[in-house]
């Protein structure tokens, strides 16, 4: 699987808009956990880790922020600022989130429960694992 | 199961706060679908239906709104205005959402994929089904 910015269904209505995500249809995994970041001071940064197995889907539920992805070969920045766009991040991708707007909410759907052992928190360790010949680029 | 306002885990951090929800742990069902309401004009209303089988968990991911629940016997209003509070709504409860603040986002975790046949959209039909002797109150 590769990182992918995805358009989500949007049902427009004068009473407000609705976007929905069904597991295994709009995202390529089953949702086992949902988490969200909020009360984030404007301009703040988060992240700086990779996951050995976890897949995620990141949405700017309110406001905007940037997601910087790094597969060990190249990096790419995505600016998320719409509820109906989501960023799929497969396993073994280093991610950082920054440039949060004041009042923003980052919603994340995750394929696994929380497991500390699944985290790679050292960038040098991440580079060591990914810096192999014939590595498939995912971003 | 009965309707329940639940405190969710909150990991406080100067870079922003984080709240997480794991299926079958913080909510009593598996998450099969996630949807959110946004771009809602201030003061607008939504809802006005019940589900035959679907269970939901409703969170004010941004801003605030009221959820009015009706189990056919009595009604109760909940004001949601915190990311780390969620309202569990079991099946066969009539719900309306109103009093949305401008810029609010209503996040809903659902136990089933979308199925039109699961909806009860007529209040009189809902009352007919629920208006039975010995009915267990759920709100």
ipTM, interface predicted TM-score of the complex: 0.91
Spatial separation of the C-alpha atoms in residues B120 and B104, rounded to whole Å = 26
Confidence of residue B138 (pLDDT cuts 50, 70, 90): confident
N- to C-terminal Cα distance for chain B? 9
Asked if the model's pLDDT at residue B133 lies above 70, the reply is: no
The reply to whether A100 touches chain B by the CB within 8 Å rule is yes
The predicted pLDDT at position A134 comes to 57
Label residues B110-119 b or e (16+ Cβ within 10 Å = b): bbbeeeeeee
pLDDT tens profile B21-67: 999 999 999 999 999 999 999 999 998 999 999 999 999 999 999 99
Residues facing A75 on adjacent strands: A70
The reply to whether B1 touches chain A by the CB within 8 Å rule is no
Chain A residues touching residue B31 (CB < 8 angstroms):
23, 31-32, 34
Residue A21 · residue A86 · CB < 8 Å: yes
Spatial separation of the C-alpha atoms in residues A79 and A101, rounded to whole Å = 11
Spatial separation of the C-alpha atoms in residues A105 and A88, rounded to whole Å = 17
| Contact (CB<8Å) B19/A35 | yes
The predicted pLDDT at position A47 comes to 85
Asked if the model's pLDDT at residue A36 lies above 70, the reply is: yes
The predicted pLDDT at position B80 comes to 98
Residue A41 · residue B16 · CB < 8 Å: yes
Active-site residue list of A: 49
The reply to whether B83 touches chain A by the CB within 8 Å rule is yes
Q: Which two tokens stand for residue A73?
A: 């070969």
The predicted pLDDT at position B53 comes to 96
Asked if the model's pLDDT at residue A119 lies above 60, the reply is: yes
Confidence of residue B134 (pLDDT cuts 50, 70, 90): low
DSSP string covering B44-57:
--EEEEEESS--EE
Active-site residue list of B: 49
Helix (H, G, I), strand (E, B) or coil at B9: coil
Spatial separation of the C-alpha atoms in residues B14 and A130, rounded to whole Å = 31
Spatial separation of the C-alpha atoms in residues B126 and B10, rounded to whole Å = 37
Asked if the model's pLDDT at residue B136 lies above 70, the reply is: no
The reply to whether A65 touches chain B by the CB within 8 Å rule is no
Asked if the model's pLDDT at residue A49 lies above 80, the reply is: yes
Please count the residue pairs, one from chain A and one from chain B, whose beta carbons lie less than 8 angstroms apart. Answer: 119
Spatial separation of the C-alpha atoms in residues A74 and A100, rounded to whole Å = 23
Residue B55 · residue B91 · CB < 8 Å: yes
Chain A residues touching residue B103 (CB < 8 angstroms):
62, 103
Closest residue by Cα to residue A29 from A78, A85, A91, A82: A91
| Contact (CB<8Å) A32/B20 | no
The predicted pLDDT at position A138 comes to 76
Tell me which of B6, B10, B16, B118 to substitute to probe the interface with A (most A C-beta atoms closer than 10 Å).
B16
Closest residue by Cα to residue B11 from A38, A66, A106: A38
């Amino acid at each position: 699987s590769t990182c992918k910015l995805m358009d989500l269904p949007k049902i427009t209505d004068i009473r407000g808009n609705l976007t929905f995500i069904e597991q295994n249809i709009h995202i390529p995994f089953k949702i086992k956990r949902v988490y969200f970041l909020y009360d984030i001071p404007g301009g703040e940064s988060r992240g700086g880790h990779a996951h050995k197995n976890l897949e995620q889907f990141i949405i700017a539920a309110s406001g905007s922020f940037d997601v910087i992805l790094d597969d060990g070969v190249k990096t790419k920045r995505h600016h998320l600022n719409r509820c109906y766009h989501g960023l799929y991040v497969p396993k073994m991708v280093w991610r950082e989130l920054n440039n949060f707007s004041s009042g923003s909410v980052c919603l994340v759907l995750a394929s696994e429960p929380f497991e500390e052992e699944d985290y790679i928190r050292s960038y040098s360790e991440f580079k060591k694992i990914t810096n192999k010949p014939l590595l498939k680029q995912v971003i």
